[in-house]
Amino acid sequence: MCSKWISLNMLMLDEKRIIMDSTQESMIKSLKNWGFEPIPRSFMDFVPFGGSFHCATLDVRRRGELQSYF
């Protein structure tokens, strides 16, 4: 079983758009207030496998240059 916080696992599409679980209503509201554009979607069928949008996707093509965070 996953953590109760698994729905906070989001996928950033760009600087503003975020795909996230539609059950996270308070987080969606907060993100909108902070200037983001949440895209709520149901994804509960994947939870038994141990993840959500970010964990269930492959790398996406992004703009900009490669950066090291280490």
What is the reported pLDDT for 13? 85
pLDDT computed for residue 17 by the predictor: 94
Residue with more model confidence, 54 or 43:
43
Does residue 34 or residue 65 have the better pLDDT?
34
Q: How far apart are CA 62 and CA 47, in angstroms?
A: 26
Q: pTM, whole model, 2 decimals?
A: 0.62
Give the span between the Cα atoms of 28 and 22, in whole angstroms.
8
Segments making up each domain of the chain, as ranges: 6-49
Instruction: Give Rg (Cα) of the chain.
Output: 13
Residue-wise pLDDT for 9-52, tens only, equals 788 888 999 988 888 888 899 999 999 999 998 876 666 666 66
Do the Cβ atoms of 26 and 32 come closer than 8 Å? no
Beta strand ranges found along the chain (DSSP E): 11-12, 17-21, 37-41
